[in-house]
Structure 1
Amino acid sequence: RYPSIDEVRAAISRICPIDVRNFQDEADKINSRTLGVLMLGYAYGKGLIPLKKESLKEGIREILKEKLWETNFRALERGIELAKL
């Protein structure tokens, strides 16, 4: 027997207690391709990433082209803000 939708949702909420669709909506306000960085900011804001914010920004600088930095910095900051709500 397959689990019901409610059973699946309950199981997922124990593993990942956030609704990622809300994050995609927030990322779309900045740029739809910033979802990963927005979620990184959220995890950082929740204290789940033991790094300094500047280290995260440096990682963005190392990986992405310069023209994408500011957009991704905004996504990082928005994720941190969402973690505080």
Structure 2
Amino acid sequence: MTLGSSGIKERLNIVITGVGGQGNVTAGIIMGEAARLAGLNAVMSEIHGLAQRGGVVSVDFRIGDVYGPIIPDGQVDLVLGFELLESYRALSRARPGTTMITSTERIVPSSVNVGDAKYPDLAALRERALSRGIRIYEVDAPSIALAIGSKLSSNMIMVGAAYGAGFLPVRIDHIKDAIRLHFRESLWDVNFRAVEAGAQEIRRLASTM
């Protein structure tokens, strides 16, 4: 049984979150195009903070029997996080049973760097989430991206993780075709490998839990 196979029937609700510059919106576009190629209905919306300054960027992505692009609070099936702290913040919209697949990347807010705020206790946030029945998987996307030869491919690693966990009801060929449509040819191979690596890593993590 895949991670995403229970409780998902007529619709699938995914929140993609991170900070500006991590490729969150691009990930949503690839996922949406892959869903379209698979013959599925998909809608998405983007919420930008101060993206150019490293602010939060959140994408609501929905597949199936849905029309409005905004996911109601408490109906999130998957939080796909590109930055660790923003992943935990997005759990305010989650329910017991929601899955969080997050990159381990940390981008410290400028307010922390200048001493105006303290970085939250991530261990405490994790324990609080687990006590709510949230399933948590941490993917070391930056290290995997460097290993395959492109530090900019972390977003496709996370798309691969969502696919490998069963939260994208498409074939991997649909994702690769979406990549072909969105990226120039010189970037196809590294992004294909990123998707495959992300899928492999989430399956490995699931096998240990």
- The structure whose RCO (Cα within 8 Å, separation 6+) is larger is 1
* Offset at residue 16 of structure 1 (A): 6.9
- Which residue number in structure 2 is paired with residue 69 of structure 1? 188
Q: Which residue, out of 158, 181, 190, partners 1:39?
A: 158
Alignment of 1:1-85 (within 5 A): 5=121, 6-11=123-128, 17-20=136-139, 22-30=140-148, 31-85=150-204
Distance (Å, rounded) in 2 between the aligned partners of 1:15 and 1:48: 15
Give the structure with higher Rg (CA). 2
Q: Percent identity?
A: 29
> Please, which runs of 5 or more residues in structure 2 have no aligned partner?
1-117, 205-209
* Offset at residue 9 of structure 1 (A): 3.4
Structure with more of its chain in strand, by fraction: 2
Indicate the SS of the match to 1:84.
helix
**1:10 to 1:77, Cα distance in 2 relative to 1, 3 A:** same
- Cα deviation, 1:25-56, whole Å, max 9, x if unaligned, reads 11111210000101111110110101111110
After TM superposition, the structure 1 stretch with the greater mean CA deviation from structure 2, 44-53 or 5-14, is: 5-14
Distance (Å, rounded) in 2 between the aligned partners of 1:11 and 1:36: 26
Q: TM-score, normalised by structure 2?
A: 0.36
Structure with more of its chain in helix, by fraction: 1
Q: How many equivalent pairs are there?
A: 82
1:28 maps to a residue whose letter is: L
**1:16 to 1:62, Cα distance in 2 relative to 1, 3 A:** farther
